[in-house]
Amino acid sequence: MTAARTTRLDQGWSWKQRNATICDSVLDELKLPNDGCIQAGWKEAQAFPSEIHVELLKAGLISDPYLGFNEHKVQWIGETEWLYKCTFPFTADSAHQHAILEFEGLDTVCDVYLNGKLILSTDNQFRTYSYPISLFDNANTLKDTNTLLLHFKSAKILAKAEEAKYGKVRAGSTNLGDPSRVYVRKAQYDWRWDWGPELMTVGPYRPIKLKTYSVCISEMHTRASVSFDESGTPSPVLKVDVGLDGTPSPELAQALGVVLKDSVGKEIRRAQMPLHDVSSTTSMVRDAVSWDLRSEDLKLWWPVGYGQQNLYNVEVHLVGPNGQVIDTQVKRVGFRSVELVQEQLAEADQYGTGTTFLFEVNGVRIFAGGSNWIPADNFLTTITEERYRAWLTLLRDGNQNMVRVWGGGIYEPDVFYDICDELGILAWQDFQFACGVYPAHDEFVKSVTKEAEDNVKRLRHHPSLALFCGNNEDYQMILQWGDTKELPARVLYEKVFPEIVATLTDPPIPYHRGSPYGGKGWDTADPTVGDVHQWNVWGGKELPYQDYDKLGGRFVSEFGIPSMPDMRTVAHWMDGADETEWYSQSTLMAQHTKAGSFERRFAIVMNENFRLTSDLETYVYNTQLMQSEAVGYAYQSWRRAWRGRGKEYTSGVLVWQLNDCWPVTSWAIVDYFLRPKPIYFTIARHLAPIGVGISRTVIQNRANDRPRQFYEFGAIQSHDAKIDIWGTNSTLKPRSVKLELSFHDLKSSWTHSETHDVELLPNQSTELLSMPCPGPPRDGAQPPSGDPLWATSYSVVVSARLVGEDGRVLARFADWPQPYRYLAVPDPRLKVGVDGEKVVLSVERPVKGLWLSVEGEGPEVSWSDNALDVVPGDPQTIVAKGLGNRKLKVAYLGKEKASVI
């Protein structure tokens, strides 16, 4: 008996553009001479899996679409037909009666020919397609040498044809691609988005495999669950279902063996089940094992910050005669429970009562702080495991515990979720629908149903998977437009998807029909129910970011403010452009800023808060500081609303967005080249296990519509200011700490300090202090506003830190008077000490937004912290891994152009 054999067909591939004027038949193209012409000759594929843009780029036939205006020069690629082919040998094995060709991902519209016969026609990028082959059927078998031909057609052209057939619908705004995109099951961001280019990719972007067997394991469903008794003692259980394919007769397949091992390979339990009654060609063995593992001292899987990420391997062996292993599958699991808790709140908050929207893992309610994820490149085949790990490690190291895989991209490959499992990152997984009125005709629903089944089965065993969500903003778009009454795809979001998730996941994975979704009549903006996307600061109403604390909800799954990336990233896309293009409003800057109405929206938020500048580097710094201040204020305000049992008013905050898919100005907190922006570090501080926050409310002489944190010196006069200070504690134990406050006047040498003993309650925020903001004495000085009741606190920086019983500083935060455009920032008289990779920073006057970088070429420096507010008497030590002998550069508010120190 010969074991099943799987071969990856990843060698010997070539590609070409199809020229229909030369040949009527696609198969005739195989007979054309290799004359080196792109229309007529085949070129060797440089990698497999493959995408045609990447092949063209490597062959020197197109310019890099990520540089300059080159995006516009490659639009023809998405309107063209492309061919891939390979030949592969096959040696028949008399013990193998069956074979399957498996295509894990074809992008997107593709006819597949095997030895000149059409065997598949695909139109869904997200499905796994399989083609069964009988090895003893002369009309349908493999030969000694076989040719596989893939004929890719234009998804763009298909979308327009489907639109003509079914009607034009609304889908997003003008910067979210052509609305016809909704008709084709292809990554929607390929059509263009408000952070990404229009690049209609084509190709076999995931592996193609050939498996031969007489009987094999076709499916393996590991059901690792845990329940808790009244004392909180866990009871882990493992059940395994096994699907068999082929001819599972007793002579061929005699038993199933199941082995559970820990992460270092130590065997925990083993069992073997005879296969007496399995004889059908396709069989599912339910509960091949059902193990109560209480006695095995198994350790639970926890999200990062709440415990260890304990993982176990489950091996299933198909055993034939004489104990020979015929086939094996392995899955890695973690024992954990996850629930989406939506229950009535005990008390009302500023929005009313309503219900919670929180995640409970292993019986512990967690505050979910994290980011939204878009595909990390427009060319998916270029995203290596190392890049995935680097992105997700940045997220984890930034104290984030959740990532939302957004619905306009892809279902990420297995490695993405494997890394989430290892790092303890909870994954919110959207089904791939975004910002549109999707159809629901029979063929579409049938294809999407299979897509959903494929991906739920593929992902369900991951302990990191916390939620399946039906779509991104489809309900919201209907309400936003007001002129569209129907949403045909409701049948998917409200029937097909929840039924698939309920049927195929055990233990059950929570399902949420859309993001955002919650209130009555699809009210996607109701802050008391479900989740919300808060875009009234950047887009829509353009409210001041200082109002974020009034714009939250039970779970904020999207919000954000864009900024420009690192100057090196800007230089990359500028690609040596003339110096006349190096200004913030140039055409090249607009080419790499896709956000709708970005000129007007940037102008509003920048002009409200910062001084105008014509210097590009200063402007770049100011956009980054603005993003950091705005998004940071939202994080600290909404985490403050996690107030304990029955008062979980905000249970999660996911910024839009973690990453970029190309070099661009966007909402990303880390740019395309994995260079963190200041906001990355600000979020990390707000999501640290122990945190402290300050809010300043300026008391003014009349009601007004200005931000409450602003000092005004026009018709509106400032009379005083109140500060509120709170602490956050995500650990499950109370902490006794010292709250140390210091006050520094920017216009004089006046300072003040005080200390309070406080206790931080476990797994919630704690209000610590509310007091008038002190300021220097008037001493006959004239008020800047002319108002005799003026407050001197208008130039006072308030700094708070929490100090543990061992004297270690656990958290810091500094609140500066606003708006920053009014401030005359003094020279901080910054002192920097460098000892190897340790950098010690101290100042004589407060400094805002201190940004560290390095001069010269070399590997990226990994900073333990950055974008710092430093005050006198509180030096900070930063670790700069990879600093080497390079010189430090600094920039800060008032000195925005980086200089060597």
Alpha-carbon dihedral of residues 561, 466, 367, 361, nearest 10 degrees? -170
Cβ–Cβ under 8 Å, residues 709 and 772: no
Cβ–Cβ under 8 Å, residues 696 and 773: yes
Rounded to 5°, the CA angle 103-106-108 comes to 150
- Between CA 546 and CA 455 the distance in angstroms is 41
State the sign of the Cα–Cα–Cα–Cα dihedral 22, 28, 34, 40: positive
- Between CA 382 and CA 199 the distance in angstroms is 14
For residue 508, give the amino acid letter. Answer: P
State the sign of the Cα–Cα–Cα–Cα dihedral 157, 162, 168, 169: negative
Cβ–Cβ under 8 Å, residues 895 and 823: no
What token pair was written down for 65? 């679409």
Q: Are strands 868-870 and 847-854 parallel, antiparallel or unpaired?
A: antiparallel
The CB-side HSE value for 153 (13 A sphere, CA atoms) comes to: 16
What token pair was written down for 120? 């598949």
Alpha-carbon dihedral of residues 564, 565, 568, 570, nearest 10 degrees? -40
Residue 545, Cβ neighbours under 10 Å: how many? 24
What token pair was written down for 556? 């904020």
Based on the number of CB atoms within 10 Å of its own CB, is 188 exposed (0-12), middle (13-18) or buried (19 or more)? buried
Provide the 3-class DSSP secondary structure of residue 445: helix
What token pair was written down for 509? 């994975």
Cβ–Cβ under 8 Å, residues 610 and 823: no
Cβ-based neighbours of 256, under 8 Å, separated by 6 or more: 242, 272, 273, 275, 285, 288, 316, 317, 318, 319
What token pair was written down for 309? 């990420």
Instruction: Give one DSSP letter per residue of 329-353, joined into a string.
Output: EEEEE----EEEE--B-SS-BTTBS
For residue 276, give the amino acid letter. Answer: H
What token pair was written down for 35? 């004359």
Instruction: Give one DSSP letter per residue of 664-711, joined into a string.
Output: --BS-SB-TTS-B-HHHHHHHHHTSSEEEEEEEEEEESS--SS-TTB-
Residue 473 is a catalytic residue: yes
What token pair was written down for 433? 């629908």
Q: Which of 198, 473, 558, 608 is catalytic?
A: 473
Residues annotated as catalytic are 473
